[in-house]
Chains A and B, each alone.
Chain A
Amino acid sequence: MMLIRDLVVQGVQMFLVLALAPLLTGVIRKLKAHLLRRHGPPLLQPYRDLLRLLRKDVVLAENASWLFRVIPYVIFAVTWVAAALVPTFGNGLLFSWSADLIAIIALLGSARFALALAGMDVGTAFGGIGSSREVMIASLAEPAILITVFSVAMIAGSTQLSTVAEFMGSSAVGLRVSLGLALFALVIVALAENARIPVDNPATHLELTMVHEAMVLEYSGRHLALIDLSAELKLLLYISLIACMFMPWGVAKQGADLAALAIGTVAYVLKLALCASLLAVFETSIAKMRVFRIPEFLGAALMLALLATLLRFVSGSL
């Protein structure tokens, strides 16, 4: 009976993240448009875009290999699995015991690897530029997020996300400067990984500065729909990650009843709305960086994460 209940909770989690991801993107777009005093597309536009793309035919380049056709499915599957592992409304998900934070980062890393391969597969100039830039960003962002994870894991005593979330929600966590630094580092990495504004502009096409869009330029039809959906899912994943580590309020405990789960869901939606509005305000108030300044930006994240680990080391050894 418990197993069935856990399975149901896990299934609800998987489909909740899938259903909310396009809405989150729609909300951010709408908020950004409002901040610029424009009307903006309707909130449900991302869903309509996905449906429209699914109905359209796929146009494949003549020299596209099988990799090019397989990779959208791989990326979507991997991102979805990673998103299913992050506690959103409830702790102690059934799948989350099989993989920890480092596994989530590895899953996202393999999705990025696949996408970079797909960008280079057809052999256009744009794809190559996009892939090389994406890999450059990744080579700086990945150490930063790993060290952030280490410092959080040193504080919580585990890399298991459910345990971390539970620890952060308890009063044992106290007041720690390391966690503040880790939060900043994680936010910077999340901005870079999701191609948000200081690093990449998600709303642009055919510009010399684009990174993510350059890689997926050759995709169309259902392939593009899958890639767009996994990008939206990845944004949701990062926000959920930040929410479950740094805003663990209202998350239902393992084996909680229906009311607690409902409270957890409401709290989760509120957290998403908060993060989306913060992101929209941040993106409208800042300009995009030159590509050559990105290493400095991500270097700051790496430095903050290292400092967090060092500070934690001091307070831990006393």
Chain B
Amino acid sequence: MHGLEFDIAHMLAGSLVLASFMMLYQDRLYALLNIYALHATVLALSVAWQAFVQHAPHLYVTAAIALIFKAIIIPVSLHRIMVRLGIHREIETAVGVGLTMIAGIGLVALSMVVMLRVTPGADALAREDLAFALSVVLLGLLIMVTRRNAVSQVVGFMSLENGLVLAAAGAKGMPLVVEISVAFSVLIAFIVIGIFLFRIRERFDSVDIRALDRFRGERR
């Protein structure tokens, strides 16, 4: 099972983790969205390769959904939202980059240790995909935790969802219905979040999450 098929799948899934790290590193909002588009493109490639390897044509549909919705529609509309909110030039002061990176590496190591331990019987391709998918999910959570801007939190959430799709594509036999409904729920979530962004902005004149803390009375 160490042929070229496995190597290419490994490379694509590894690049997905790398793209997550690039998102973690990037503190400019505009560039963050571009990396998110790259993330989704790599995901589409990875899923398409899984479809080719597993001879599962419905996964091609999943890849197409990832490419069209996540790599094109969502980044473009987020770009528009950012321009309308007037925050497209903003640089976000995240928690120190070095600390975040170390935490990220720790999370990747953790997910690999966990996943490789709990799935000894499974197919090598699925195991590897699951390990990487868990790390992408955890890195998405880390992005959401370390960012203060609502837009970058949305991007973190979307990258988390990409990790879920990767896991689903690796584990054989996810029905197409589930995939389509997940894709649409994410799209709907995106629309709801978009509306919320404007509501937050109207209410607090900013999309900085700290404004919410003050509103709830947690910080004076």
Which A residues lie at the B interface, using CB under 8 A?
Answer: 174-178, 180-181, 295-296, 299-300, 303, 306-307, 310-311, 313-315, 317-318
- B-chain residues with CB within 8 Å of residue A296 when the two chains form the complex: 97-98
- Partner of B124 from A174, A176, A318 at Cβ < 8 Å: A318
Binding-face segment, B80-88, B108-116, B175-183, B184-192: B108-116
Question: What is the minimal beta-carbon distance from B158 to any residue of chain A, in angstroms?
Answer: 22
**Cβ of B101 under 8 Å from chain A:** yes
- B-chain residues with CB within 8 Å of residue A176 when the two chains form the complex: 7, 10-11
Among residues of B, the one whose C-beta sits closest to the C-beta of A300 is: B25
Which B residues lie at the A interface, using CB under 8 A?
Answer: 1-2, 4, 6-8, 10-11, 14-15, 17-18, 21, 25, 97-98, 101, 104-105, 108-109, 112, 116, 124, 127-128, 131-132
Query: B97 to A307, Cβ gap below 8 A?
Result: no
Query: B98 to A299, Cβ gap below 8 A?
Result: yes
Among residues of A, the one whose C-beta sits closest to the C-beta of B1 is: A318
- A-chain residues with CB within 8 Å of residue B105 when the two chains form the complex: 303, 306-307, 310
- A-chain residues with CB within 8 Å of residue B4 when the two chains form the complex: 174-175
Given contacts A295-B98, A307-B108, contact A177 B11 (CB under 8 A): yes
Question: What is the minimal beta-carbon distance from B2 to any residue of chain A, in angstroms?
Answer: 7
Among residues of A, the one whose C-beta sits closest to the C-beta of B8 is: A175
- Partner of B10 from A181, A300, A303, A315 at Cβ < 8 Å: A315
Question: What is the minimal beta-carbon distance from B6 to any residue of chain A, in angstroms?
Answer: 8
Among residues of A, the one whose C-beta sits closest to the C-beta of B113 is: A313
Query: A174 to B15, Cβ gap below 8 A?
Result: no
Query: A307 to B127, Cβ gap below 8 A?
Result: no
> What 8 new A-B contacts, CB under 8 Å, besides A175-B8, A306-B105, A307-B21?
A175-B11, A177-B14, A303-B104, A307-B108, A310-B108, A311-B17, A315-B10, A318-B124
Question: What is the minimal beta-carbon distance from A14 to any residue of chain B, in angstroms?
Answer: 38
Given contacts A296-B98, A307-B108, A318-B127, contact A177 B116 (CB under 8 A): no
Among residues of A, the one whose C-beta sits closest to the C-beta of B122 is: A318
| Bound Cα distance A306, B106 (Å) | 10
Question: What is the minimal beta-carbon distance from A257 to any residue of chain B, in angstroms?
Answer: 34
Can you name 10 A-B pairs with beta carbons within 8 Å? A175-B4, A175-B7, A175-B11, A177-B11, A295-B98, A303-B101, A307-B105, A307-B108, A313-B112, A318-B127
- A-chain residues with CB within 8 Å of residue B7 when the two chains form the complex: 174-176, 315
Question: What is the minimal beta-carbon distance from B45 to any residue of chain A, in angstroms?
Answer: 13
Question: What is the minimal beta-carbon distance from B171 to any residue of chain A, in angstroms?
Answer: 15
- A-chain residues with CB within 8 Å of residue B128 when the two chains form the complex: 314-315, 318
Query: A299 to B97, Cβ gap below 8 A?
Result: yes
| Bound Cα distance A177, B2 (Å) | 14
Question: What is the minimal beta-carbon distance from B211 to any residue of chain A, in angstroms?
Answer: 28
| Bound Cα distance A180, B15 (Å) | 10
| Bound Cα distance A268, B219 (Å) | 63
- B-chain residues with CB within 8 Å of residue A310 when the two chains form the complex: 105, 108-109, 112
Among residues of A, the one whose C-beta sits closest to the C-beta of B3 is: A174
Among residues of B, the one whose C-beta sits closest to the C-beta of A302 is: B101
- B-chain residues with CB within 8 Å of residue A178 when the two chains form the complex: 14
- B-chain residues with CB within 8 Å of residue A181 when the two chains form the complex: 14, 18
| Bound Cα distance A137, B25 (Å) | 20
Query: A174 to B98, Cβ gap below 8 A?
Result: no
Question: What is the minimal beta-carbon distance from B121 to any residue of chain A, in angstroms?
Answer: 12
Query: A317 to B10, Cβ gap below 8 A?
Result: no
| Bound Cα distance A108, B99 (Å) | 29
Query: B131 to A314, Cβ gap below 8 A?
Result: yes
- B-chain residues with CB within 8 Å of residue A175 when the two chains form the complex: 4, 7-8, 11
| Bound Cα distance A296, B2 (Å) | 35
| Bound Cα distance A106, B4 (Å) | 36
Question: What is the minimal beta-carbon distance from A63 to any residue of chain B, in angstroms?
Answer: 39
- B-chain residues with CB within 8 Å of residue A313 when the two chains form the complex: 112
Q: Most B CB atoms within 10 A — which of A174, A176, A181, A296?
A: A174
Among residues of B, the one whose C-beta sits closest to the C-beta of A179 is: B11
- A-chain residues with CB within 8 Å of residue B104 when the two chains form the complex: 303
Among residues of B, the one whose C-beta sits closest to the C-beta of A176 is: B7
| Bound Cα distance A209, B124 (Å) | 51
Query: B21 to A303, Cβ gap below 8 A?
Result: yes
| Bound Cα distance A314, B104 (Å) | 17
Among residues of B, the one whose C-beta sits closest to the C-beta of A180 is: B11
